[in-house]
Amino acid sequence: MSKVILLLCIAVMVCVLFTSCGKKEKASSEGKMTIITSLFPLYDFARNIGGDKVDVSLLLPPGVEAHAFEPRPADIVRINRADMFIYTGKIMEPWVDEIVKSVTSSKLLIVDSSEGVRLISQLEEFPDEDEHAEHRHGGAEDPHIWLDFSNAQKMVNNICEAMIKKDPQNKDFYLKNAADYNDRLSELDSEYKTVLAGCKQHTVVYGGHFAFGYMAKRYGMKFISAYRGFTPDAEPTPRNLAELVDKIKQLGVGYIYYEELISPKVAETLSEETDAMLLPLSSAHNVSKADLAEGAGFISIMKKNLGNLRMGLDCQ
């Protein structure tokens, strides 16, 4: 990590020496507040709140899996030139500390969007695990907070407050947009509650990394993941897979969900062993280049998820 810090510091010095790069970015934003966000949900929240008064960009390259991301020297240069940098939290983005240490800009406002959100742990998400679960899973906290839409609303409010702090003369504009977006999140939450309450099957089998604990807890679902952990190196063992195949057959699960931005080989293996069909389920960490170009939004992704959950869980 010390090598990363050195590279970031060099990049900052280069930006300071060649100040013309900052002038170009300022000109391109046409006087708007420039905002960089770490993950896609924050990008979508910020552009909906800020509207035409902000220029929002996504730090994570489209199509890149969030857990595997490593910031480059060019990234710290971008952040150092911005008015605001928004991230999810130190558990989701452990590399943020290194970026903060490398920032030299006095105008940059750094926003932790998870302020006021209570994180849940794997032990809460695996209530049926035995007493050795904490040793196996580390008792880690789940950083995928936006998948509980009430948490997403808190994140929206935190971003709105930051925009007002940076641009108080447009306070009413930001407050109205944030309230409108939170109303849409409330409608989405109600839709999820209505649809998922009428399902014949209540167990979601996911052939990807464990990400949907908040959603499962809020809507009374049971969530089983092939990857028993949040990190990218939490690979399933042959024993895990064999146990999951038995569980799928026992429960009569007809659909297995797969993670969109990683290879679906685990989900495909489970499908081959059980004859269950496959459906995508996006945690919205990030989106593909095509989705970003088409203007995909957090709410539209979650609505697509709900349609696939309705089909896979046999909901009325």
Question: Which residue segments constitute the domains of the chain, with CATH numbers given?
Answer: 2-186 (3.40.50.1980), 198-312 (3.40.50.1980)
**Strand 33-37 with 54-58, pairing:** parallel
What's the pLDDT at 28?
42
State which amino acid sits at residue 98.
E
What's the pLDDT at 26?
43
What's the pLDDT at 101?
83
What's the pLDDT at 267?
93
**Quick one: which of 134, 299, 94 has its CA closest to 228?**
134
Q: Which residues partner with 109 through β-bridges?
A: 84
Where do the H-state alpha helices sit in 167-294?
Answer: 171-197, 213-219, 238-251, 265-274, 289-293
What's the pLDDT at 23?
43
Q: Alpha-carbon dihedral of residues 75, 81, 82, 85, nearest 10 degrees?
A: 40
Cβ proximity of 248 and 277 under 8 Å = no
Cβ proximity of 210 and 141 under 8 Å = no
CA distance 183 to 15: 41
What's the pLDDT at 72?
87
Which segments of the chain have a pLDDT < 50? 1-2, 4-8, 10-28, 126-138
What's the pLDDT at 226?
82
What's the pLDDT at 123?
59
What's the pLDDT at 219?
96
pLDDT, tens digit, 9 for 90 and up, residues 238-258: 888 999 999 999 999 999 999
Cβ proximity of 61 and 86 under 8 Å = no
